Each structure stands twice: as structure tokens, then as C-alpha cells.
Amino acid sequence: MTINEKHYKAFKWCCDNNIRIYPKLKKGKYILVYEINGVSKTSGKEYDVKYYMDAIWEFYLFLYNKLNNATN
């Protein structure tokens, strides 16, 4: 995956709005945890070590598109 300007814009917007995403190791794979204003949630979907960073970038973009449109 190629990280581009959209990903960085989404990451910045999420940081500015107290949203963060981090990986958590679970049985040799990673699940993504997202935290909004201190409340943590996860889908429980598992990612291999090769793909979890791409999934984080895409998840920031997804949250930006979903939540930024809801707040405007």
C-alpha cells in the first residue's frame, strides 16, 4: 500500500480529535484498537504482522471519512 496525502490528513484530523488507533497482540496476530476520547473499542478482526500497519492507515482514513462528515 502507498501512504499518501489523504492518509496523513486523516491521521492529523484524528489526532486533533482525540482519536487513536493502536495494535494489540493476540495469539501471534494483531487486532486494532481504536480509542475515541478515552473509550477503547475493537472489531476483533485479526491481521498478520505484514498487514497490520496498512490496516491502521486505512482505518484512520475510514474514521476520518465517517466522523469528519458527521461533525460538519
Of the pLDDT bands very low, low, confident and very high (cuts 50, 70, 90), residue 18 is very high
d(CA 11, CA 19): 9
Q: What is the pTM of this model?
A: 0.89
pLDDT digits (tens, 9 = 90+) for 54-70: 999 999 999 999 999 76
* Backbone conformation region of residue 38, classed left if phi is above 0, alpha if psi is from -120 to 50, else beta: left
pLDDT at residue 71, as a whole number: 61
